[in-house]
Amino acid sequence: MEAGRRTEIPAAAPPLLDFPVDFPTGAREGKLTEILTLSKQLRVSLSDHTLYLTGGSTRHPFVALMSHPLVMDCEKEKAKLRIRAKPSLFQHVGIYSSLAGKIQNLKDKDFGKNVLHRAHNNPPAKVDTSLRTYQQYTLEKFYTGKDCFWASAPVAGDYIRFTFLNPLKVEKYLFRSGNMEHPGDKLFNTTVEVLPADEMLRKELVDNGSKFNYPATKDGYLKIGAFENGIAEGSINQSIGKIQAIRLSVNSDSPVWAILSEVLIKTSEN
């Protein structure tokens, strides 16, 4: 913990900060908070202004809230609420601190970097693919937001599949292929398919074809979209009900490798 003194907050007090957004990592500037909670933050900052410099005082109310006696795991709770925007939008300049005699060598390592992948809070899922993964750029790391997914050139019949641990009502989806360093490594002639969780519906699709506006596959998936210029996105007809899995199916051989740099699966619960 970095607070020099504990600020007492009544147990029944409303949340002090709904969420803070940090645009740099090392520097104290570039913080964003909701305007409705700003006055509460200022009151705590002013009450402890003798202990904190201007930068530190912007963090202290958040730390104080997470240090409340009823909060069991301070660091875990901070991680849930604190949002880090990447890459950093601000770089710290200058080396002299406002504290006499202190040198402040702060440099933000993320500043100016290309965004090679974008992370989202997607629902828990098991992932698998027929593609040959390149080095450490695995599908598991990609889905959990740790890195992009990179694989050798897809061929017809290849797939990438996301099977949800619990069936979900999926409202929207977004898949982005390629990135700033390898813009040509995209998915081409690839369809987005969903597997309804209702087994009776799946059997009906296999036996009689789709009653929706989506074509059905022989194994009970519905083709709901396709990649265009490396991106597949859209909304899903809610009459399909809950979905068990989403599959990206490659329909023809590709001359280039493939990168997935972003996946967003929006459900009624997130």
pTM, to two decimals: 0.62
Picking from 81-85, 147-151, 246-250, 256-260, which range would have the lowest pLDDT averaged per residue?
81-85
Q: What is the pLDDT of residue 254?
A: 96
Q: What is the pLDDT of residue 269?
A: 74
Q: What is the pLDDT of residue 156?
A: 97
Q: Which of 91-100, 198-207, 230-239, 247-256 is most confident?
A: 247-256
Averaged pLDDT score across all residues of the chain = 77
Q: What is the pLDDT of residue 69?
A: 52
Who contacts 252 (Cβ-Cβ below 8 Å, separation ≥6)?
Answer: 156, 188, 189
Helix then strand then coil, % of the chain, to nearest 5: 20, 30, 55
pLDDT at position 264 over 90: yes
State the pLDDT confidence band at 154, using cuts at 50, 70 and 90. very high
Q: What is the pLDDT of residue 13?
A: 42
Q: How many CB atoms lie within 10 A of CB 12?
A: 5
Picking from 97-111, 137-151, 156-170, which range would have the lowest pLDDT averaged per residue?
97-111
pLDDT at position 50 over 60: no
Peptide bond into 87 cis (omega under 30): yes
Half-sphere exposure of 136 (CA within 13 A, CB side): 2
Nearest residue to 192 (alpha-carbon basis) of 208, 178, 175: 175
State the pLDDT confidence band at 88, using cuts at 50, 70 and 90. low
pLDDT at position 258 over 90: yes
| Token pair 């700003």: residue | 38
Q: What is the pLDDT of residue 57?
A: 46
Round to whole Å and give the CA distance between 150 and 11. Answer: 48
Q: What percent of the chain has pLDDT over 70?
A: 56
State the pLDDT confidence band at 12, using cuts at 50, 70 and 90. very low
